[in-house]
Structure 1
């Protein structure tokens, strides 16, 4: 069952469609709210990963099961998570702009080269496609 929502507008209506896709590849696994709390985007080793929107890097480290990870705080209780990166190009505390390259796609702690991308609102994972331009 879906988790209860906090008061205020539903997460899918906050910033709908104005964020950049973090990578160019095909979506190979979609959000389901259970085992997949984001989307997986296929790609080639070293391809650019960009910030979905402006924010401040809060995490740049390696986490078991996720490999190299970046987390960016976008304010208003919104955060993005980027995992399985080959290389992070930004550091904790750095401000990034929408579309700025922040990392290279990799396969750390993954079975193939891909980017796992999550959007969290109030700490809860929501479907990233509701934030991304064109909803592919």
Structure 2
């Protein structure tokens, strides 16, 4: 189960839940927690697991998704650099990439999601 912050420093910005989309100005559900950090900040796995995705997405930019077992998955988006490969086993605290400003992003930050059986959870409950 995810149990640590994915970065050692940062400021919580856009939180989980309903918010105004910075591009469309329409209200939309934000499935994660954004953490403002400098570009290049190390991003850490929040629990042991297996990397199930490490690739590009038009919205998330470069991102990593980890399956932690027992229904838990985490996602780390808008990375500048990915430091793991799909299928790789990782441990809690391992460096999986560097924060950035890729994809549909207005400034450097980490977008972090926790899902339990595909249902989005508020990441704040896992720090």
**TM-score (normalised: structure 1):** 0.82
Larger strand fraction of residues: 2
Unaligned runs of 5+ in 2: 19-27
Query: Which of the numbers 117, 122, 126 marks the counterpart of 1:122?
Result: 117
Give the paired residue count: 116
Query: Which of the numbers 60, 83, 86 marks the counterpart of 1:89?
Result: 83
Mapping of residues 1-136 of structure 1, within 5 Å: 15=1, 19-23=3-7, 24-32=9-17, 35-109=29-103, 110-132=105-127
Unaligned runs of 5+ in 1: 1-14
- Cα RMSD of the aligned pairs, angstroms, is 1.2
**Structure 1 stretches of 4+ moved >3 Å:** none
Distance in 2 between residues matched to 1:74 and 1:42, nearest whole Å:
25
Distance in 1 between residues matched to 2:52 and 2:41, nearest whole Å:
22
Shift of 1:47: 0.7
Distance in 1 between residues matched to 2:12 and 2:95, nearest whole Å:
19
Shift of 1:29: 1.2
| 1:51-97 deviations in Å (ceiling 9; x for gaps) | 01111000001011110010000001110000000001010011111
